[in-house]
Amino acid sequence: MHLIMSVDGVDTCTIEVFEDKVPRIAAELRAQLPQKGILQHGKIIGEMVFWTMPIVAPWENVYLTEEVGAMRREEKGYARGSVCWYNPRQQFCVVYGDDLADEPLKISYIGEVVSGELELALAGHRNWLQQGQVVELRIADAA
CATH number at residue 79: 2.40.100.20
* Total number of residues shown for the chain: 143
Listed residue (68, 130, 125, 57) closest to 91, CA to CA: 57
pLDDT digits (tens, 9 = 90+) for 18-48: 999 999 999 999 999 999 999 999 876 678 9
The one-letter amino acid code at 32 reads Q
Range of 9's domain?
2-142
Q: What are the DSSP E strand ranges found in the chain?
A: 2-7, 10-17, 35-38, 40-41, 46-52, 62-64, 82-86, 91-100, 106-115, 134-139
Q: What is the pTM of this model?
A: 0.92
User: Average pLDDT of 46-62?
Assistant: 92
State how many domains the chain has.
1
79 pLDDT band, cuts 50/70/90, is confident
End-to-end CA distance of the chain: 13
Share the mean pLDDT of the chain. Answer: 92
